[in-house]
Amino acid sequence: MTFKSGANFDGKRASSGGGGRGGMIATGGGIGSLLLIGLYLLLGGDLGDITESSPQPDQTQVGPEESGEDAFAHCQTAEDGNKYDDCRVMFAAQSVDKVWAQQLPDQAGIEYVEPGRVIFNNTTMSGCGQASGATGPFYCPADESAYFDTAFFDQLRNFGGDNAPLAQMYIVAHEFGHHIQKLEGTLSLSNYNEPGEDSNAVKIELQADCYAGLWAHYADKGEDALLETITEQQVTDAVNTARAVGDDNIQRRSGGEVRPDTWTHGSSEDRAQSFLAGYNSGKMEQCDTLGRGVYKS
Ligand SMILES: [Zn+2]
């Protein structure tokens, strides 16, 4: 997935940290650590290494002088988005905004309100508590913001190679999927304390994967699309990313027993199929894991 040269990336900026304040742990949270582990294992690593190589949060808060617009002054063109992780996250978020601004009202009759996006390095405060690379990317419902750690993306790059940019966009679209669920009023149904393959936690995660696929369906369409035409190979790579982070795959590859009763994100096959269901149809009703039946066809 590549940004289109000359496409209009507007002046909207992410925050580079600071975030809100609060004490809650994120619910319906990210695919972060799991994704990292999944990708890493996919590439033949083992968990011992990953623990050692995990970034250590340095506890340094990004100061006000570093936050705000200037931190992203280098993110201006498609080429910047294709080159720098933070620009890629910011532009991917703009692409996701663009798709949902049209699709959410059209398909669900709900006005789209853009989530906050915080791109930080190593550690920051969120409305859901302290965030770090160990947390992985996540969505915080309390301040309706998605958080992305560039140190985490450095690791993805090391492990994911050429697929890293695509995995990053998949992550952005997945976390924004949780924001859509917040706007729909369903995100709070997810409870990681009640796991299991048929749990609401899994249904919410699979729907976020499907919403990520739905974004990809529209992201390269129309004259003002921000992405170049998505290739079959890129779709295959995205599906493989989704598959890599399936609970069964992670459990199997980490040498543990596969225990569906402990799942919070869904099986590899279900995650892959969910992404494809959204990608192939572009329809929220194909992502209706909660069986609500409220979407326009
Ligand atoms: Zn998630």
Q: Which two tokens stand for residue 75?
A: 């993110």
Q: Compute, in angstroms, the gap from residue 4 CA to the centroid of ligand 1.
A: 27
For residue 102, is pLDDT > 70?
yes
The Å distance, Cα 278 to ligand 1 centre, comes to 15
pLDDT tens profile 200-247: 999 999 999 999 999 999 999 999 999 999 999 888 888 887 887 788
Would you say residue 271 has pLDDT above 70?
A: yes
Handedness of CA 177, 126, 93, 8 (dihedral sign): positive
Q: Give 205 Cα–ligand 1 centroid separation in angstroms.
A: 5
Q: How far is the CA of 201 from the centre of ligand 1 (A)?
A: 9
Domain boundaries, the chain: 32-287
42 C-alpha to ligand 1 centroid (Å): 19
What pLDDT, on a 0 to 100 scale, did the predictor assign at position 92?
95
pLDDT, greater one: 59 or 109: 109
Q: 210-241: buried (b, 16+ CB within 10 Å) or exposed (e) per residue?
A: bbbbbbbbbbbeeeebbbbebeeebbebbbbb
The residue written with tokens 């409305």 in the block is 127
What is the reported pLDDT for 25? 33
How far does the centroid of ligand 1 lie from the alpha carbon of residue 5, in Å? Answer: 30
Strands 123-126 and 145-149: unpaired
Position 28 scores a pLDDT of 34
Distance from the alpha carbon of residue 177 to the mean position of ligand 1, in angstroms: 8
In the chain, % of residues over pLDDT 90: 49
Question: Ligand 1 centroid to 287 CA: how many Å?
Answer: 14
Structure tokens at 234: 């890129």
How many angstroms is it from 6 CA to the middle of ligand 1?
32
Map 184-247 to HEC letters: HCCHHHCCCCCCCCCCHHHHHHHHHHHHHHHHHHHHCCCCCCCECCCCHHHHHHHHHHHHHCCH
Interval between CA 37 and ligand 1 midpoint (Å): 15
CA of 127 to the centre of ligand 1 (A): 17
Centre of ligand 1 from the C-alpha of residue 137, in Å: 9
- Residue 22 — left, alpha, or beta (φ > 0 → left; ψ -120 to 50 → alpha)? left
Residue 253 CA to ligand 1 center (angstroms) comes to: 20
- Number of residues in the chain: 297
Residue 245 C-alpha to ligand 1 middle, in angstroms?
Answer: 11
Distance 251 CA to ligand 1 centre (A): 17
- What pLDDT does residue 234 have? 86
Nearest residue to 118 via CA among 226, 10, 13, 11 = 13
Spell out the residues 6+ positions from residue 251 whose beta carbon is closer than 8 angstroms to its own. Answer: 257, 258, 259, 262
Tell me which amino acid residue 274 is.
S
User: What spacing in Å lies between the alpha carbon of 171 and ligand 1's midpoint?
Assistant: 9
How many angstroms is it from 27 CA to the middle of ligand 1? 9
64 Cβ neighbours under 8 A, 6+ residues apart: 18
Whether pLDDT at 131 is above 60? yes
Give the helix, strand, coil percentages of the chain, each rounded to 5.
Answer: 50, 10, 40
Mean per-residue pLDDT of the chain = 80
Q: What is the pLDDT of residue 13?
A: 65
User: Any residues with CB less than 8 A from the CB of 159 and at least 6 apart, and which?
Assistant: 36, 39, 40, 43, 45
What is the pLDDT confidence band of residue 48, given thresholds at 50, 70 and 90?
very low
- Three-state DSSP class for residue 140: strand
Residue 65 CA, ligand 1 centroid: distance in Å = 31
Task: Say how many Å lie between the CA of residue 162 and the centre of ligand 1.
Answer: 23
Other Cβ atoms closer than 10 A to 197: 18
Please choose, from the candidates 31, 38, 77, the residue with its C-alpha nearest in 3D space to the C-alpha of residue 160: 38
